[in-house]
Every structure is written in C-alpha cells, then in structure tokens.
C-alpha cells in the first residue's frame, strides 16, 4: 500500500518538476512574491483533476483515438519547441525577469495566465493524463493509491516552488542566473519537443 503511494509520488514528482511554461510562470511570480497561494492552489488542483481523469479513463480514450493522439503529440511538440525558442532568445538577448515587483501582475491576470499555461499546454495531457493515468491503471485496485501519491507530489512541488523560490530572489537579481535557468529551460523543452516528434 505504502509502496504504491511512494511510486505514485516519485513518478508524479519526476514529471511535475520538469521546467516548463507553468513552472516558469509560478517561479517568476514567487520570486516577485505575487499571488503565490492562488497560483499554488490552481496548479495543485488542476493536476489532481487531470490525474484523476487519466485514471478514470480519459488517457485511454485519447490513446484509442489516432486523431486525438496526433493532435496532442504534434500540438505538444509545437508548444514545447516554441517555448524553447523563446527561452533561447532570452539567453541570446540577455533578458531577465524582474524580481523587484516592477510592473506587478494583477491577481486576475496571473490566474488567467496560469490557467492558460496549464490547460492550453498539450504536453500536460501527455504527461499527467496519459502517462500517469497509464502507470496508475497498471496497478489494478491500487491505481487510486498511486494517483494519490502523484497528487501529493504536485502539492509538495508547487508549495515549495511558490513559497520557497522567494529565498532565491537575491540570486536572480543577477542576469547570469536567469541565463543559466533559461538555458536549462530551452534545453529541456527542445529535448521534450523533439522526443514527441520522434
């Protein structure tokens, strides 16, 4: 029983912590100490809903439809490659996010952006619905224990990101720190995008 929860926790954590658009946005807001609680709740609850949908059969439905699978696959690849290009452009131009609260984002804009980055990203359906749903359903009657572990991983990760990242604010006042982060973002997104295509 505990092993199923732990397996779900580790599987969920390995997918959730991959740096992507959603994580980067939450990180930016956390570094500026803006809207941390609502963004953490949106991300955690969204993951819980998507994981549950995958276990309940949405992932199998997507996998059974060649058209839905192709849309998810190629849409996800395009999204990830575009995001990689944006991060690479920031590296080349030396751009960085502000951590001093200049140009503060309204709560409404932050929430809408977070929802968009969560539900308009096809890759979230591949990872959270299809992959985690498939992994959970291989466990038979223990599938909901596995799913529960993955949901806890989401809660732990987004709580740490939203409330722990502000400790890194002094570091991210340096352009070099943003350059390293954006290089990592571009590399991860490029790798994931290409992997979807091949």
Q: How does residue 43 score in pLDDT terms, banded at 50, 70 and 90?
A: very high
Where do the domains of the chain lie? 2-197
Output the six-digit token pair for 41.
Answer: 């709740």
- Using CA atoms, how far apart are residues 142 and 107, in angstroms rounded to an integer? 39
Q: How far apart are CA 127 and CA 64, in angstroms?
A: 16
pTM attached to this predicted model: 0.74
Closest CA to 184 of 12, 23, 6: 23
The dihedrals phi and psi of 90, each to the nearest 5 degrees, come to -65, -40
* Lowest mean per-residue pLDDT among 39-43, 78-82, 87-91, 136-140: 78-82
């Amino acid at each position: 029983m505990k092993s199923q929860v732990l397996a779900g926790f580790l599987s969920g954590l390995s997918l959730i912590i991959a740096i992507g658009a959603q994580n980067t946005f939450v990180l930016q807001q956390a570094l500026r100490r803006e809207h941390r609680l609502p963004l953490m709740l949106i991300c955690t609850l969204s993951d819980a809903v998507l994981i549950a949908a995958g276990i309940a059969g949405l992932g199998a439905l997507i996998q059974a439809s060649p058209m839905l699978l192709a849309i998810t696959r190629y849409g996800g690849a395009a999204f990830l490659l575009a995001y990689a290009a944006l991060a690479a452009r920031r590296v080349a131009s030396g751009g960085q996010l502000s951590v001093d609260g200049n140009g503060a984002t309204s709560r409404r804009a932050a929430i809408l952006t977070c929802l968009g980055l969560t539900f308009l990203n096809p890759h979230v359906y591949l990872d959270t619905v299809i992959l985690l749903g498939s992994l959970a359903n291989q466990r038979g009657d223990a599938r909901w224990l596995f799913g529960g572990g993955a949901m806890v991983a989401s809660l732990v990760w987004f709580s740490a990101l939203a409330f722990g990242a502000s400790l890194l604010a002094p570091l991210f006042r340096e352009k070099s720190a943003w350059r390293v982060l954006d290089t990592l973002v571009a590399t991860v997104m490029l790798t994931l995008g290409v992997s979807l295509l091949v």
